[in-house]
Amino acid sequence: MTTVCLIKADQYDQELILKGLRLAWSSLELSKLFKPGESILLKPNLLSAVSAEQAVTTDPAVFAAVARLFRELEMEQPLRLSYGDSPAHESTAKAARISGLAAVAEELAIEAADFEHSQEIEFPADSSIRKLHIANGVLNSDGLVSICKFKTHALTGITGALKNQFGVVPGLRKAKFHAVYSDIRAFATMLADLNKFLKPRLFIMDAIVSMEGNGPRNGRPKKTGYVLVGLDAPAVDTVMASVTGHDTAKMKLFQTLSVLRTGVVDPAKIEVRIIDPAQDAVVKQGLLSELIPELIITDFKQAKTENSLMTSASSFSGKLARRFIMRRPVIDAEICISCGQCVASCPLEPKALSQTGREVPRYSYDKCIRCFCCQEICPAAAIQVRRPWQRG
């Protein structure tokens, strides 16, 4: 059994969010997680250098409220706070500036952690990961606090608390990993092992405005009205996935976590405490399984995901499935700005899409493993996920 606090917040009101976080802090007795003088890395989602309104990145109001919460802790020695994340393509500094997080960090004197340099780390023998580059800013800190954004995702269905830690891997090295962990189960196992290694202390999710549809970069902002706080990443993800109408029992991401016994994904084993900062109180508590009917947002548009299990097979049937059945990334030539970022992001060698000069890139669908790195990185929202026979 684990507990997740669901703080009501229908807008990015920093004072109200901070009030809610204080209530969650005492309700979950979080003080015991941090020792005086420790260096703590705040790890937001800075997937791309875009403004906060696009709901791609953690909102600066949530980031500021979390940082202020840590700043106001009374300790013999204050915590030493830093922050950082590794965007897929641009520099951390640019993504932090455009998302509004750099301004908050400057105001609250939070140091930018080193996400430009990394070290290759060898993982334990029982891990699905052999070696992995991790940013120095992560390795140099005593602990990590994950401040994620809730969004849809073409591969995993949703992205939130668990996947936020994938950002410790620098830049395009992340895409290379997709080629190795090319089906959802392998990818989820890798995420579980990465989290096991990093052991984030706490998970805070910005789901005041989430992303629906063609996420995690090119979907639409959708008000969902919560900030979540919990100690168990799969549980935090299960709560918000359930609130947005996902049947988590049918999602391969959660099925894999359940088999691995990574965290808590059973709605009957997650206690939800609903906090209303306006009333300065926990206004309701109960099991997620019982509360889902009243919490569910029925008009949230889920991602069009694909089971890419078949894609790893080089069999004839696998090739046919990839060509004629499975959902695939499709470029809208009228929107494409021919920047070539999708081609650069493809983890395969040779790549599954190619570009001649300034022409619109072309896919080789029988090679494509449906990792959707290209769809995730496209700055023009020109790539949609569709069945081969679907148009527009």
Interface contacts to ligand SF4, rule CB under 6 A: 329, 331, 336-342, 345-346, 348, 352-353, 361, 363, 368-374, 378, 380, 382-383
Identity of the residue, 264 or 371, whose beta carbon is nearer to ligand SF4 in the bound complex: 371
Q: Cα–Cα distances in Å, from 68 out to 117, 266, 282?
A: 28, 33, 21
Identity of the residue, 27 or 355, whose beta carbon is nearer to ligand SF4 in the bound complex: 355
Residues 175, 173: Cα–Cα separation, whole Å? 5
Q: What are the tokens at 115?
A: 């996400």
- Is-contact 239 245, C-beta < 8 A? no
Identity of the residue, 174 or 222, whose beta carbon is nearer to ligand SF4 in the bound complex: 174
Beta strands in the chain (DSSP E): 2-8, 39-44, 80-83, 111-112, 118-122, 131-135, 143-153, 157-159, 202-212, 220-230, 270-276, 281-287, 328-331, 353-354, 362-363, 383-386
Identity of the residue, 119 or 315, whose beta carbon is nearer to ligand SF4 in the bound complex: 315
DSSP 8-state symbol, 300: P
Residue 286 phi, psi dihedral angles, 5° rounding: 175, 180
Shortest reach from residue 346's CB to ligand SF4, in Å: 3
Identity of the residue, 39 or 338, whose beta carbon is nearer to ligand SF4 in the bound complex: 338
Q: What are the tokens at 98?
A: 């455009």
Shortest reach from residue 305's CB to ligand SF4, in Å: 12
Q: Cα–Cα distances in Å, from 355 out to 73, 330, 350?
A: 53, 14, 13
Identity of the residue, 217 or 273, whose beta carbon is nearer to ligand SF4 in the bound complex: 217
Beta carbons within 10 angstroms of residue 343's beta carbon: 16
Shortest reach from residue 125's CB to ligand SF4, in Å: 29
Shortest reach from residue 197's CB to ligand SF4, in Å: 25
Residues 162, 238: Cα–Cα separation, whole Å? 10
Q: What are the tokens at 39?
A: 């260096």
Nearest residue to 231 via CA among 285, 281, 162, 163: 162
Shortest reach from residue 53's CB to ligand SF4, in Å: 20
Shortest reach from residue 336's CB to ligand SF4, in Å: 3
DSSP 8-state symbol, 127: S
Shortest reach from residue 43's CB to ligand SF4, in Å: 25
Identity of the residue, 57 or 182, whose beta carbon is nearer to ligand SF4 in the bound complex: 182
Cα-to-chain-centroid distance, residue 145: 13
In degrees, to the nearest 5, what angle opens at C-alpha 211 toward C-alphas 118 and 196?
40
Cα torsion for 196, 226, 272, 32, to the nearest 10°? 50
Shortest reach from residue 359's CB to ligand SF4, in Å: 9
Shortest reach from residue 255's CB to ligand SF4, in Å: 22
Identity of the residue, 257 or 369, whose beta carbon is nearer to ligand SF4 in the bound complex: 369
Identity of the residue, 7 or 373, whose beta carbon is nearer to ligand SF4 in the bound complex: 373
